Structures are given as structure tokens and as C-alpha cells.
Amino acid sequence: MSASSPAPVRFVDLAAQQERIRDRVDAAIARVLDHGQYIMGPEVSEFEAQLSAHCGAAHSVACSSGTDALAMVLMAKNVRPGQAIFCPAFTFVATAEVVAWLGAHIWFVDVDAATFNMDPASLETAIAEAKAAGHEPVGVIPVDLFGIPADYDAISKIAAREGLWVLGDGAQAYGARYHNRRVGTLAMATATSFFPAKPLGAYGDGGAIFTDDAELAETLRSILFHGKGTSQYDNVRIGMTGRIDTMQAAVLIEKLAIFDDEIEARNRIAARYSTLLSGHVETPHVPDGLQSVWAQYTVKLPAVADRAAIQSQMKDKGVPSAVYYAKPLHLQDAYSHHGIAGGTLPVTDMLSGCVLSLPMHPYLDEETQDRVVEALVGAL
């Protein structure tokens, strides 16, 4: 690239956000250094209270990561071998990984072609097949992929009929809205992630679990601290090191303060992308009454398009893109022996071949957006 070419576009721009809040983050970190309570310091419970006020969940339990958030709920529900849990195959590996940790059967469910989220009809198929295989269905893990909440009404109805709990994997969707509710209140429990590149990201690993069930919240607080009872030296169950660092909670308090403003910006940017790209590619579909937080802005390329060639031409113009997910979980070596709804997941397979995610963050200006759009349309 010649010296006069503009700098490459950032896929996610954490530096622009940091510039906005750097003073406040510096002060927050300095406060932690001053009081020295690096584990379970006052910022942890303060952040939890702010999360509950923000999303409406009765209980917010901050923890070490989104993966651990999912795992600890499964531990609290005593998930064990012989049981079956249903999740989409078109997701990040952590959704299924935690089920495998506990030795339960995973049943991979297909997704909806428009929303990329769990298809309730495919869930019905998987439940019937799991029962026929002699597995004991216990729970469903819908994923709010790319920031759009799953179809919780339809999934909860099926789950209630079958006596299954629902654990929302909201790792990509904290802050998203589902009619008059927010992610965190749509299931028995919801796990989210504060991995730096997620919409609400820390400066390291972090996560949270949301629930309205006080007993579950208390069990989770025990599990994340080695199964503590009245003290950490009274061990009433098998637990783990699942706490969030005080330092990360302090950073997240500052990030949560600007998060609703950032969600607005993400939605403004996504709407503009969709206007500029309509007619060229299939733009994302957000169902009526829902609001995404745009963890990814993901389009579907025309069936005839050569995705790798498009990505490389875009890259030549300094525009990064990404494919989430090129190899769905039912095709991964470590997971291919698990159940597959109907024996094949045609929508998942189709999407993995044609999706493309574009740069997305709240500080993407119109000029940069135009560059992204021109690079993609030019490559097409």
C-alpha cells in the first residue's frame, strides 16, 4: 500500500471508545489500586446493581467470562451424562463447549435463514429425536446471534410444554431489546460476555449471568467461589474460580455509562449500511419489536459470489471483513459425534457459505462507512 493510501479501516475500534472515556477509566483503575481489593472489591457489587437496573433482571451475577457464565448455570442445574441440551450449530463454540464439559449430549438445531437464530421447528425435531435416542432432554440454549434476540416466545412455549429450562446465550446481545424487555430477562437465566470486542466489552475477560430466580443466583455466587457455603473455607458444592476481577468491574462501570448512547450509534450505523447496501446484498433482518446491539453487521452474499475473492479485494482497499461462522459446530471434529436435528442442518450450511460481517462499532463515521460499502459493492 502506498504512503498516500488511507489507513486501513478498523473492524472494531476500541481505541476511539477509549479516547472518549480514558480519564474516567484511569480514575476508576486508580481507585481500585488505592483500596487494593482486587477480588470482590466494592466495584463488583456496584456494577452488578447497575446491570440489574439497566436490563431489568432481579439478579445480576458478574463473573469471569461468557463461557464460565454458561458453564456455571449448567453446573447449578446439575447437568450430567445422559441428559440432552439443545443449541444452534451456527454459533461460537463456547455455547456447546460447556455442555460437553459436563458430559451431556448436545443436540444441534438449525437456524432461521432471516434472523440466524434458533429455528423453533428444528428444535421440536431435535427434542423428538433425542427422546427416541433414549436421552433425557433438560434444557435449551438459544443464542442471540450477532446481537439480535432469539425467538424467545416460541422457544419458551416449546420448553414449557417439554419441561425444559431455557438458558439464553446473550454473549453477543447484552443491551438488546425484545419487545418491551431487555436481554437478561427473557429466559430462566441469561449469560453474557464482556470480552473486549463484544458490544459491552471490558479490558480483559468478564461475563455475567442474569436471572429472576433468587435461589439460582445464590447457587451461582457459591459456584463462582469454589462452592462456598458460609465462607470460602466451607465448601458445600463443587465450584470454580468464576469471579470477575474488581479492575474489570471498575472499567465496565465506566463503559456501561455510555453504553445506551453507543447502542443508538450502532443502530444508526446499521440502518445506514442497510440503506446503502440494499439491492447489492441481503442485509440483516431485525424482527418487528426487536432492537439489535449489532455485535456483528452480517450480510448474505449472492449465491454466485466468490466470498474469498471479495474479501481479498476488500482487504486490498484497506477494508477488513470476517466470516462468522465458516465451519458450523456440527461439522467441527470435536463436536461431529453429537446429535443433529433431522440429520442435516440445511440453513446453517447455507449461511456458513454466504455470510460476511463488515466493520461495526459505535465510532464508525459516514466517510469510513462509505469506504466499506464501496469496497464491497466494487468487489461484487
Cα separation, 363 vs 15, whole angstroms? 10
Total Cβ atoms within 10 A of residue 95: 26
Cα separation, 265 vs 256, whole angstroms? 14
Min dist. Cβ of residue 322 to ligand PLP (A): 13
Binders in 33-72 for ligand PLP, by CB under 6 A: 65-67
* 177 φ, ψ (degrees, to nearest 5): -115, 145
Closer to ligand PLP by CB, 14 or 380: give it: 14
Are residues 192 and 94 in contact, defined by beta-carbon separation less than 8 angstroms?
no
Site string for ligand PLP, 116-155 (x = CB under 6 A): ---------------------------x------------
Min dist. Cβ of residue 98 to ligand PLP (A): 9
CA distances from 237 to 74, 77, 227, 230, 284 (A): 14, 12, 5, 12, 44
Please report whether residue 169 would count as binding ligand PLP according to CB under 6 A: yes
Please report whether residue 195 would count as binding ligand PLP according to CB under 6 A: yes
DSSP conformation letters of 83-128: EEEEEESSS-THHHHHHHHTTPEEEEE-B-TTT-SB-HHHHHHHHH
Among 94, 247, 355, 360, binds ligand PLP (CB under 6 A): 94
Q: Alpha helices, DSSP H only, in the chain?
A: 14-35, 42-55, 66-76, 94-101, 120-132, 152-162, 214-223, 246-257, 259-277, 307-316, 346-354, 366-379
Closest alpha carbon to 284 in 315, 330, 324:
324
Cα separation, 113 vs 69, whole angstroms? 28
Interface segment toward ligand PLP; rule CB under 6 A; list 89-97, 259-267, 339-347, 348-356: 89-97
Min dist. Cβ of residue 146 to ligand PLP (A): 9
Binders in 239-268 for ligand PLP, by CB under 6 A: none
Q: Give the SS3 label for residue 47.
A: helix
Among 91, 321, 357, 368, binds ligand PLP (CB under 6 A): 91
Among 207, 242, 328, 362, binds ligand PLP (CB under 6 A): 207
Min dist. Cβ of residue 213 to ligand PLP (A): 21
Min dist. Cβ of residue 192 to ligand PLP (A): 8
Closer to ligand PLP by CB, 150 or 310: give it: 150
Min dist. Cβ of residue 357 to ligand PLP (A): 12
What is the binding site for ligand PLP (CB under 6 A)? 65-67, 91-92, 94-95, 143, 169, 171-172, 193, 195, 205, 207
